[in-house]
Structure formats: C-alpha cells, structure tokens
C-alpha cells in the first residue's frame, strides 16, 4: 500500500503478507481472524480499530522514508539544478574580475 486510508471497513479471515505501508492507516475498522505476516503495520496505524483474534508474525521495523509521494527524484534533481544556476552568474563575474584585477588583489 502506498498511501491509503481505510475507514469503517471490515476485514474478515484476511491475510496481510509482505506488506509495506508507508502512509496507510485504518480508522474505525474491524479485523476478525486476520493474520499479519512480515508487514510494517504497527499499532499506531490502527486508529479506533477493533482487532478480534488477530495474529502478528515478523513485524518489520526500520526506516520509513519514501520519495514516491512528495519528494520524487525529479524534484530533488530539479531543485539542485536551480541552485546550481543561481551560483552561475557569481562564478562568471568572479572569473572576469580575477582576469582584470589579478589573483593576488582578488585574494586581498
């Protein structure tokens, strides 16, 4: 699940296996005879939910960073490119000044 919010849902005799859920939440849901195996669904993702006869095996923990939602690789490279363009006029002016007034004067 990438970014899903389940509200007022019933999950009966379900198996959640190998699930990575970055921004997935369950609000006011009911789980009956459900098995969670190798998932990262932790207790804080079940808001006002009822778990009846559910089992959790091999809960995953760790870094939950994803660049899929708001911080895609495109935006990271685009912002870096804009920052490089902002520095370019200063580099050109300093190179021209260095040729005109000399390197030692420029250092001073």
pLDDT of residue 81: 92
Which secondary-structure segment (H or E) carries 97?
helix 73-101
Q: 81 vs 69, which has greater pLDDT?
A: 81
pLDDT of residue 27: 95
Give tens-digit pLDDT for 36-72. 998 888 888 999 999 999 999 888 776 655 555 556 6
pLDDT of residue 67: 54
pLDDT of residue 79: 87
Strand 46-47 and strand 35-37: the pairing is unpaired
Say if residues 27 and 9 touch (Cβ distance below 8 Å): no
The sign one gets for the Cα dihedral 43, 45, 49, 55 is negative
SS3 track for 10-71:
EEECCEEECCCCCCCEEECCEEECCEEECCCCCHHHEECCEEECCEEECCCCCCCCCCCCCC
């Amino acid at each position: 699940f990438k970014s899903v919010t389940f509200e007022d849902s019933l999950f009966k005799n379900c198996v959640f296996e190998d699930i990575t859920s970055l921004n997935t939440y369950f609000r006011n849901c009911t789980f009956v005879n459900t098995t969670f195996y190798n998932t990262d669904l932790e207790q804080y993702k079940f808001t006002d939910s009822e778990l009846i006869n559910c089992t959790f095996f091999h809960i995953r923990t760790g870094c939950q960073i994803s660049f899929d939602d708001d911080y895609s690789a495109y935006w990271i490279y685009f912002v870096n490119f804009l920052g490089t363009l902002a520095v370019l006029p200063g580099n050109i002016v300093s190179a021209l000044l260095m040729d005109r007034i000399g390197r030692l004067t420029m250092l001073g």
